[in-house]
């Protein structure tokens, strides 16, 4: 926490702006430092309280609470991760991995061994429910039958391909139930949506299914990520400039991992028009999910930076609810969405530079390419901004259509 406090004390807003960083990005960084300090202060208080408690029994109401309870017990007993590893006959790195994911990948036997190593007795109550009772985990009015099981199956979202012709109604519902329950615990019915039109049960179910898939993919990559931390203002601009490099998409994904942000991809479902989402994992990692509904270079970078804007500017809200965006075009009346749009546009190119540039009025491809090169940006980002302001019938040849999925598939990052 002292690191963030020192960074905030040393933060020079005027100097950052003078160095050419957009005031929008600079303010977002400062506000993010403040949020991070408040969050870490709360965690430190909880840690000190845990150290003063004494665990002899491990009690839980949900199986999802076991991992968190084991971590709390270790802290309470003042065991280091190394000491617990020695007591359990494991490597310290294995304990670190388990705690990083709240023991979600640990077997029941391993959980029992950890509890014994901590000197705990375990008391839990399990109640077997029918598939129909499992609907209680869904929002009111939504049933397992609302989920697009055939489309999900065709995309390979289940552990193994289902033979839908041989599954009866109850077996199909069981497959959906297990899919939802296997997703990380952040899987929630509380969605902050930038959307339009009436929310049908089929559409809501499709949104929830996509969210579950994104969180599951993110969990598989969590071991690669550091804990979420504030991105320096200049890094936000550097991300956009990676667009001009041949390996820029992959470099951006890896750069964000170093700041605790996991970027994953899954195609949208037919009932939705999802472009992207900002979520959290364990309250310690940021997650950006993208559908690549529009497989274009300009769309990729704008959606990526829009969702990054949510993580930087709205982290406290992201922890509480997933922010699912169903329209990549700017102009939303929602305040949070307008702020994320503003962040994305300024991360690509500060508004003051854009408004003073003549490229806004050009009809020449050469002008767009020249301007983009001067600012170390892919021409698609400039063409995309012109199209958002003037209409979507210009510079279609500069957008990099069909290029993004191919790059991701080459690196086994596209969930097709």
**Domains within the chain, CATH numbers bracketed:** 1-126 (1.10.260), 133-182 (no CATH), 186-410 (no CATH)
- Nearest-Å Rg of the Cα atoms of the chain is 23
pTM of the model as a whole: 0.76
> Half-sphere exposure of residue 106, counting CA atoms within 13 Å on the CB side?
25
DSSP 414: B
With beta carbons less than 8 A apart as the criterion, state whether 288 and 318 touch: no
Q: What pLDDT is stored for residue 249 in this prediction?
A: 98
List 122's β-bridge partners, or say none: 58
Q: What pLDDT is stored for residue 127 in this prediction?
A: 57
Structure tokens at 1: 């926490």
Task: Evaluate if residue 60 carries a pLDDT over 60.
Answer: yes
Q: What pLDDT is stored for residue 65 in this prediction?
A: 76
Q: What pLDDT is stored for residue 288 in this prediction?
A: 98
Where does residue 216 fall: left (phi above 0), alpha (psi -120 to 50 degrees), or beta otherwise? alpha
- How many CB atoms are closer than 10 A to CB 355? 8
Q: What pLDDT is stored for residue 216 in this prediction?
A: 92
**What mean pLDDT do residues 282-286 have?**
89
pLDDT bucket at 324, cuts 50 / 70 / 90: confident
Strand 191-194 versus strand 57-60 pairing type: unpaired
Structure tokens at 187: 């899987």
Task: Evaluate if residue 112 carries a pLDDT over 70.
Answer: yes
**What mean pLDDT do residues 347-366 have?**
93
C-alpha to C-alpha distance for 140 and 161, rounded to whole angstroms:
29
Task: Evaluate if residue 303 carries a pLDDT over 70.
Answer: yes
Task: Evaluate if residue 100 carries a pLDDT over 90.
Answer: no
Task: Evaluate if residue 234 carries a pLDDT over 70.
Answer: yes
Q: What pLDDT is stored for residue 196 in this prediction?
A: 46
With beta carbons less than 8 A apart as the criterion, state whether 275 and 291 touch: yes
**What mean pLDDT do residues 256-284 have?**
93
Q: What pLDDT is stored for residue 139 in this prediction?
A: 62
C-alpha to C-alpha distance for 140 and 97, rounded to whole angstroms:
36
Q: By mean pLDDT, which of 140-154, 180-194, 366-380 is the weakest? A: 180-194
Q: Which residue has the tokens 């790195």?
A: 93
C-alpha to C-alpha distance for 350 and 352, rounded to whole angstroms:
5
List 279's β-bridge partners, or say none: 287
**What mean pLDDT do residues 380-406 have?**
95
Task: Evaluate if residue 35 carries a pLDDT over 90.
Answer: no
With beta carbons less than 8 A apart as the criterion, state whether 397 and 260 touch: no
């Amino acid at each position: 926490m002292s690191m963030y406090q020192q960074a905030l004390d040393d933060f020079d807003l005027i100097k950052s702006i003078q160095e050419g960083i957009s005031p929008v990005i600079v303010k977002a960084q400062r506000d993010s430092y403040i949020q991070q300090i408040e969050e870490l202060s709360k965690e430190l208080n909880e840690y000190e309280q845990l150290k003063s408690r004494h665990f002899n029994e491990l009690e839980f109401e949900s199986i999802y609470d076991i991992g968190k309870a084991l971590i709390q017990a270790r802290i309470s007993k003042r065991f280091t991760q190394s000491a617990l590893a020695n007591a359990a006959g494991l490597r310290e790195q294995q304990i670190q991995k388990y705690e990083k994911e709240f023991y979600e990948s640990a077997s029941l036997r391993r959980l029992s061994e950890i509890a014994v190593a901590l000197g705990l007795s375990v008391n839990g109550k399990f109640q077997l429910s029918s598939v129909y009772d499992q609907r209680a985990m869904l929002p009111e009015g939504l049933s397992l039958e609302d989920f697009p099981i055939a489309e999900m199956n065709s995309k390979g979202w289940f552990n193994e391909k289902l033979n839908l012709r041989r599954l009866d109604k109850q077996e199909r519902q069981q497959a959906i139930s297990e899919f939802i329950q296997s997703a990380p615990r952040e899987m929630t019915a509380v969605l902050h949506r930038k959307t339009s039109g009436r929310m049908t049960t089929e559409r809501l179910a499709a949104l929830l299914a996509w969210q579950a898939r994104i969180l599951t993919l993110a969990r598989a990559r969590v071991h690669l990520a550091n804990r979420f931390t504030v991105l320096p203002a200049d890094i936000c601009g550097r991300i956009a400039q990676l667009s001009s490099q041949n390996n820029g998409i992959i470099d951006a994904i890896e750069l964000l991992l170093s700041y605790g942000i996991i970027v994953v991809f899954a195609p949208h479902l037919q009932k939705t028009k999802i472009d992207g989402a900002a979520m959290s994992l364990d309250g310690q990692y940021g997650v950006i999910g993208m559908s690549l509904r529009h497989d274009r270079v300009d769309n990729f970078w704008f959606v990526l930076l829009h969702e990054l804007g949510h993580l930087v500017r709205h982290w406290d809200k992201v922890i509480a609810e997933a922010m699912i965006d169903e329209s990549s075009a700017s102009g939303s009346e929602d305040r949070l969405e307008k702020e994320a749009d503003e962040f994305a546009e300024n991360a690509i190119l500060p508004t003051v530079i854009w408004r003073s540039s003549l490229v806004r009025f050009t009809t020449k491809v050469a002008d767009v390419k020249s301007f983009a090169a001067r600012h170390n940006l892919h021409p698609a980002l400039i063409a995309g901004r012109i199209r958002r302001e003037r209409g979507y019938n210009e510079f279609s040849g500069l957008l990099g259509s069909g290029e993004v999925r191919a790059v991701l598939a080459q690196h086994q990052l596209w969930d097709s």
